[in-house]
């Protein structure tokens, strides 16, 4: 096997490896400190690739996990694909789920696609469950490269019992270069009802892009049907809104979004506006401003955010970020929750070094300061 | 009155100065410096493209760009208005760089296309007719107008033109553009075209956010110094995560398992496990219609309840809501289920004889 892999390297794309070591001083967080992340990908052959991403940390305890470890095979003409290993399945109206398993895709030149997948849902930190598996299928059809329609089905079992069973449909169309439309919806077969529905339509006119969107989501959909909290007959969360992007100047973008929300019997809204000014053609230096207002159910707050980044020469880069969240009802946890970060990074010939100071006042701690550091190395082996 | 007028004048001047400064800061082209090459003027005079771009009609995939030299310009413009390099003013560096990047990342041979279009370069490079074109590179739709790429599109065979999309890490400029509020929008867009996404994005792109136990590899955590990166977890997310969760019920478990909440809440002493400190207000549970606030909130965001009371914690609910108990039925109006109430989980917890 090793000999075959080594022989396959002749004439293949380079092996890409990246290692990141991150250290921070946070004490009360689930995020590991002393983190090492290794990732790599290799195209052994044009039709065969492997990819991996693993991490290990020192808090809480010595821990680690595998996020991706997948073998990807592709029929040279694109008629079929096979993924084996640990990866995220996200297709059609099925919500993304990470599995240890396999996915096969078959395609025809006239645009029909058949996908089938199955495996065991991933349990963090190398955990395992018994009789916990899922399987699903999606059938889709492309029409004239501008329309795609699909139907999908997934069944998931937890300890042998059905924890999720959904039938979904998805649709995407680009009938004109300036118009994109997409929609998807999933129907819960265990507790009959709409589990998730989303629609988006976007158009471009000169320097503007407009998007209208709507969604209906049953929060209980994200719980396994074996959970007692999935039988409450939850209120769907409904949202309808729009987004506008305006290229106000060659280096200035303005993006604004507003949506009305209905959660239970309560009507709410969220809106934000963000502008980004680039200091150069490639946006290596930039400054951004954002204002946000959320007024939904028990979540009422206003936020301000400023970000800035500037190359300093010699591979150095300074970046800074400041955010202030002001809750309407602080409930004794501080009138405002400011957060700030100042970072200095350096990059040269595959090496990256970055350090930062982060300071905040949070509902948990009146004052908090952390130091963060990262050392990264990227390699391409012939 | 005079003072007021002088103040207004000063403000107006300051505003004008700021605007003038912004003209260059905002990226508007300055007069007197480089500008797009006068392709249109040359086309209008009927000068064939190959007079300046000599040899381009024979160029292969790895040939040089065939950009004209100063000597070629001076072949016609025998009396240049100064001795500087022509490309210092005529033509923009960004457009030349774009052409160079296209040469590097695309497989394309002018030699194969020239005979087909009979030397009519404008057929693809239609922007030469514009007075101030943003780019002369043909859009992908232009390729599609002749090439029946429908098969390759259907079969996701992008390699015939794109050298290495996954490694390029370059956002598309003319199709499947990631514009607007892409973090919210990408889910509905990717639903029908997940395999199209994978022509550019590796498995890691999805797993870094959607993987279980993914916290360490989150882009916002790894690239803390790249403040341009958007993401749900940027900045002071930990402080406002409860508000974010309440504003979009169920959003968190799109990526996280319930155990993520339990582990962190337990460590922070805001869960029933191992502490007597309750995060709920007085009167959270009351006897009577709807069971007080907890009944309403549980139906608005059941995931939030499960994040602390999931697993064996569900017995807390069963104590009051089991059939015949004082809590009554927890099911909302119109609730139906295809499960067997006495045998299947979780129905049997209340309707049956126990787990």
Q: pLDDT tens digit string along A93-113?
A: 988 889 999 999 999 988 899
Question: Distances in Å between the alpha carbon of A88 and those of A99, B164, B203?
Answer: 6, 22, 7
For the segment B274-302, the average pLDDT, to the nearest whole number, is 72
Higher pLDDT, B156 or A240: A240
| Chain B residues in contact with A268 (beta carbon < 8 A) | 247
Q: State the best of B249, B293, B335 to mutate against chain A, taking most chain A CBs within 10 Å.
A: B249
For the segment A3-27, the average pLDDT, to the nearest whole number, is 62
B130 and B163 co-located in one domain: no
Q: Is A337 in a helix, a strand, or coil?
A: strand
Torsion of CA B259, B262, B267, B273, to 10 degrees: -130
Which tens digit of pLDDT belongs to each residue from B86-100? Answer: 877 888 777 788 888
Q: Is A329 exposed, middle or buried (0-12, 13-18, 19+ CB in 10 A)?
A: exposed
B120 and B191 co-located in one domain: no
Could you give the angle at the alpha carbon of B294 between the alpha carbons of B290 and B295, nearest 5°? 35
B191 and B113 co-located in one domain: no
* Min distance A2 CA to chain B CA atoms (Å): 24
Q: Is there a contact between A26 and A382 (Cβ–Cβ < 8 Å)?
A: no
Closest residue on chain A to B343 (Cα):
A161
The phi-psi region of residue B178 (left if phi > 0; otherwise alpha if psi is between -120 and 50; otherwise beta) is beta
| Chain B residues in contact with A39 (beta carbon < 8 A) | 204
Q: Is residue B303 part of a domain?
A: no
Q: Is residue B337 part of a domain?
A: no
Confidence band of B31 (pLDDT split at 50, 70, 90) = low
Closest residue on chain B to A288 (Cα):
B228
Q: Is residue B225 part of a domain?
A: yes
* Min distance B55 CA to chain A CA atoms (Å): 31
pLDDT, averaged across chain A: 86
Confidence band of A379 (pLDDT split at 50, 70, 90) = confident
Confidence band of A208 (pLDDT split at 50, 70, 90) = very high
- Residue B334: the pLDDT is 78
Q: Is A362 in a helix, a strand, or coil?
A: coil
Higher pLDDT, A26 or B239: B239
Q: Is residue B108 part of a domain?
A: yes
Q: Is residue B107 part of a domain?
A: yes
| Chain A residues in contact with B268 (beta carbon < 8 A) | 28, 364
For residues B88 and B90, give the distance between their C-alpha atoms in angstroms, rounded to a whole number.
6
Least confident of A72-81, B83-92, B240-249: B83-92
Question: Distances in Å between the alpha carbon of A296 and those of A184, A242, A270, A301, B300?
Answer: 24, 17, 7, 9, 12
| Chain B residues in contact with A217 (beta carbon < 8 A) | 249-250
Q: Is residue B159 part of a domain?
A: yes
- Residue B105: the pLDDT is 81
- Residue A7: the pLDDT is 43
Q: Is there a contact between A90 and B194 (Cβ–Cβ < 8 Å)?
A: yes
Name which of A32, A232, A305 is nearest B235 (Cβ-Cβ).
A305
B152 and B230 co-located in one domain: no
For the segment B114-133, the average pLDDT, to the nearest whole number, is 81
Tell me the helix, strand and coil percentages in chain B, rounded to 5. Answer: 50, 0, 45
Closest residue on chain B to A170 (Cα):
B192
A78–B156 C-beta distance less than 8 A = yes
A294–B259 C-beta distance less than 8 A = no
Beta bridge partners of B94: none
CB contacts < 8 A (A, B) = 378
Residue A179 backbone dihedrals phi, psi, to 5 degrees: -135, 130
- Residue B171: the pLDDT is 67
Q: Is A286 in a helix, a strand, or coil?
A: strand
Domain interval for residue B156: 148-174+183-201
B116 and B88 co-located in one domain: yes
Q: Is B334 in a helix, a strand, or coil?
A: coil
Q: Is there a contact between B192 and A148 (Cβ–Cβ < 8 Å)?
A: yes
For residues B235 and A318, give the distance between their C-alpha atoms in angstroms, rounded to a whole number.
16
* Min distance B77 CA to chain A CA atoms (Å): 31
- Residue A318: the pLDDT is 95
Higher pLDDT, B91 or B289: B91
Query: Rounded to two decimals, what is the model's pTM?
Result: 0.81
Structurally, chain B folds into a number of domains equal to 3
B47 and B105 co-located in one domain: yes
B85 and B159 co-located in one domain: no
Q: Is residue B349 part of a domain?
A: no
Name which of A249, A321, A364 is nearest B268 (Cβ-Cβ).
A364
The answer to whether residue B33 scores a pLDDT higher than 70 is: no
- Strand A316-327 versus strand A337-348 pairing type: antiparallel
B111 and B93 co-located in one domain: yes
Which tens digit of pLDDT belongs to each residue from A302-360? Answer: 999 999 999 998 999 999 999 999 999 888 888 999 999 999 999 988 899 999 999 99
For residues B39 and B133, give the distance between their C-alpha atoms in angstroms, rounded to a whole number.
9
| Chain A residues in contact with B30 (beta carbon < 8 A) | none
Q: What's the gap between Cα B91 and its chain centre?
A: 31
- Residue A1: the pLDDT is 34
Which tens digit of pLDDT belongs to each residue from A262-291? Answer: 987 789 999 999 999 998 877 889 999 999
B116 and B98 co-located in one domain: yes
A190–B338 C-beta distance less than 8 A = yes
Closest residue on chain A to B167 (Cα):
A16
Confidence band of A4 (pLDDT split at 50, 70, 90) = very low
H or E element in which residue A172 lies:
strand A161-176
B87 and B50 co-located in one domain: yes
Name which of A161, A183, A263 is nearest B249 (Cβ-Cβ).
A263
For residues A44 and A49, give the distance between their C-alpha atoms in angstroms, rounded to a whole number.
6
Name which of B192, B206, B211 is nearest A150 (Cβ-Cβ).
B192
A32–B216 C-beta distance less than 8 A = yes
Q: State the best of B171, B192, B206 to mutate against chain A, taking most chain A CBs within 10 Å.
A: B192
| Chain B residues in contact with A345 (beta carbon < 8 A) | 225
Q: Is residue B281 part of a domain?
A: no
- Residue A8: the pLDDT is 43
The answer to whether residue A3 scores a pLDDT higher than 60 is: no
Which tens digit of pLDDT belongs to each residue from B332-345? Answer: 887 888 888 888 88
Confidence band of B229 (pLDDT split at 50, 70, 90) = confident
Which tens digit of pLDDT belongs to each residue from B170-202? Answer: 667 667 778 888 888 888 888 888 888 888 888
Confidence band of B138 (pLDDT split at 50, 70, 90) = confident
For residues B194 and A93, give the distance between their C-alpha atoms in angstroms, rounded to a whole number.
11
B189 and B219 co-located in one domain: no
A263–B300 C-beta distance less than 8 A = yes
- Residue B57: the pLDDT is 84
Q: State the best of A229, A329, A360 to mutate against chain B, taking most chain B CBs within 10 Å.
A: A229
B61 and B134 co-located in one domain: yes
């Amino acid at each position: 096997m090793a000999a075959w892999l080594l022989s396959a390297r002749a004439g293949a794309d380079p092996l890409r490896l990246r290692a990141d070591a991150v250290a921070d001083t946070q004490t009360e967080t689930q995020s590991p400190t002393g983190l090492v992340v290794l990732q790599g990908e290799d195209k052994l052959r044009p039709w065969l690739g492997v990819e991996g991403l693993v991490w290990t940390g020192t808090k809480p305890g010595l821990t680690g996990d595998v996020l991706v470890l997948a073998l990807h095979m592709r029929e040279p003409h694109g008629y079929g694909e096979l993924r084996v290993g640990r990866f995220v399945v996200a297709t059609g109206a099925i919500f993304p789920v990470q599995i240890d398993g396999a996915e096969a895709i078959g395609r025809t030149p006239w645009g029909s696609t058949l996908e089938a997948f199955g495996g065991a849902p991933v349990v963090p930190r190398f955990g395992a469950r018994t009789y916990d598996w899922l399987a699903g299928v999606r059938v889709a059809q492309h029409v004239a490269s501008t329309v795609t329609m699909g139907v999908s089905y997934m069944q998931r079992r937890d300890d042998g019992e059905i924890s999720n069973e959904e039938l979904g449909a998805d649709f995407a169309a680009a009938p004109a270069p300036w118009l994109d439309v997409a929609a998807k919806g999933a129907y819960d077969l265990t507790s009959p009802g709409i589990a998730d529905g989303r629609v988006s339509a976007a158009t471009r006119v000169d320097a503007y892009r407009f998007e209208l969107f709507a969604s209906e989501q049953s929060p209980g959909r994200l719980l396994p049907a074996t959970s007692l909290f999935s039988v409450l007959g939850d209120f769907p969360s409904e949202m309808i809104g729009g987004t506008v992007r305006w290229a106000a100047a060659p280096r200035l973008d303005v993006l604004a979004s507003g949506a009305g929300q209905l959660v239970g019997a309560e009507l709410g809204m969220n809106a934000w506006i963000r502008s980004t000014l680039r200091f150069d053609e490639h946006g290596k230096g930039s400054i951004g401003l954002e204002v946000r207002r959320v007024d939904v159910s028990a979540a009422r707050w206003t936020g301000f955010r400023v970000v800035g980044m500037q190359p300093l020469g010699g591979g150095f880069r300074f970046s800074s970020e400041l955010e202030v969240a002001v809750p309407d009802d602080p409930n004794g946890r501080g009138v405002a929750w400011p957060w700030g970060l100042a970072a200095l990074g350096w990059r040269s010939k595959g090496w990256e070094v970055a350090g930062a100071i982060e300071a905040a006042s949070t509902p948990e701690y009146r004052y908090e300061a952390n130091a963060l550091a990262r050392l990264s190395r990227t390699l391409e082996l012939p | 009155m005079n003072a007021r007028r002088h103040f207004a004048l000063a403000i107006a001047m300051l505003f004008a100065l700021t605007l003038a400064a912004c003209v260059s800061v905002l990226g508007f082209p300055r007069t007197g410096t480089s500008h797009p090459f006068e392709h249109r003027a040359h086309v209008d005079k009927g000068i064939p493209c190959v007079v300046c771009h000599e040899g381009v009609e024979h160029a292969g995939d790895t040939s040089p760009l065939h950009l004209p030299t100063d000597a070629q310009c001076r072949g016609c413009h025998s009396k240049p208005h100064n001795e500087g390099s022509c490309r210092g003013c005529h033509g923009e560096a960004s457009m030349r760089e774009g052409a160079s990047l296209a040469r590097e990342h695309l497989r394309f041979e002018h030699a194969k296309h020239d005979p087909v279009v009979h030397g009519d370069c404008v057929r693809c490079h239609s922007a030469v007719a514009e007075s101030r074109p943003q780019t002369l590179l043909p859009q992908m739709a232009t390729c599609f107008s002749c090439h029946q790429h429908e098969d390759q599109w259907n079969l996701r065979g992008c390699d015939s033109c794109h050298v290495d999309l996954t490694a390029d890490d370059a956002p598309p400029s003319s199709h499947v553009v990631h514009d607007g509020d892409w973090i919210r929008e990408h889910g509905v867009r990717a639903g029908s075209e997940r395999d199209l996404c994978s022509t550019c994005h590796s498995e890691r792109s999805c797993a870094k956010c959607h993987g279980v136990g993914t916290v360490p590899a989150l882009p916002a955590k790894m690239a803390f110094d790249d403040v341009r990166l958007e993401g749900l977890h940027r900045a002071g997310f930990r402080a406002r995560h409860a508000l974010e969760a309440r504003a979009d019920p169920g959003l968190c478990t799109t990526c996280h398992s319930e155990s993520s909440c339990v582990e962190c809440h337990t460590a922070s002493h805001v869960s029933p496990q191992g502490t007597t400190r309750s995060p709920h207000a007085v009167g959270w549970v009351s006897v009577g219609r709807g069971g007080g606030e907890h009944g309403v909130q549980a139906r608005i965001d059941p995931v939030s309840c499960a994040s602390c009371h999931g697993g064996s914690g569900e017995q807390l609910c069963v104590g009051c809501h089991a059939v015949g108990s004082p809590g009554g039925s927890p099911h909302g109006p119109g609730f139906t289920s295809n499960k067997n109430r006495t045998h299947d989980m979780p129905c049997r917890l209340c309707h049956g004889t126990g787990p």
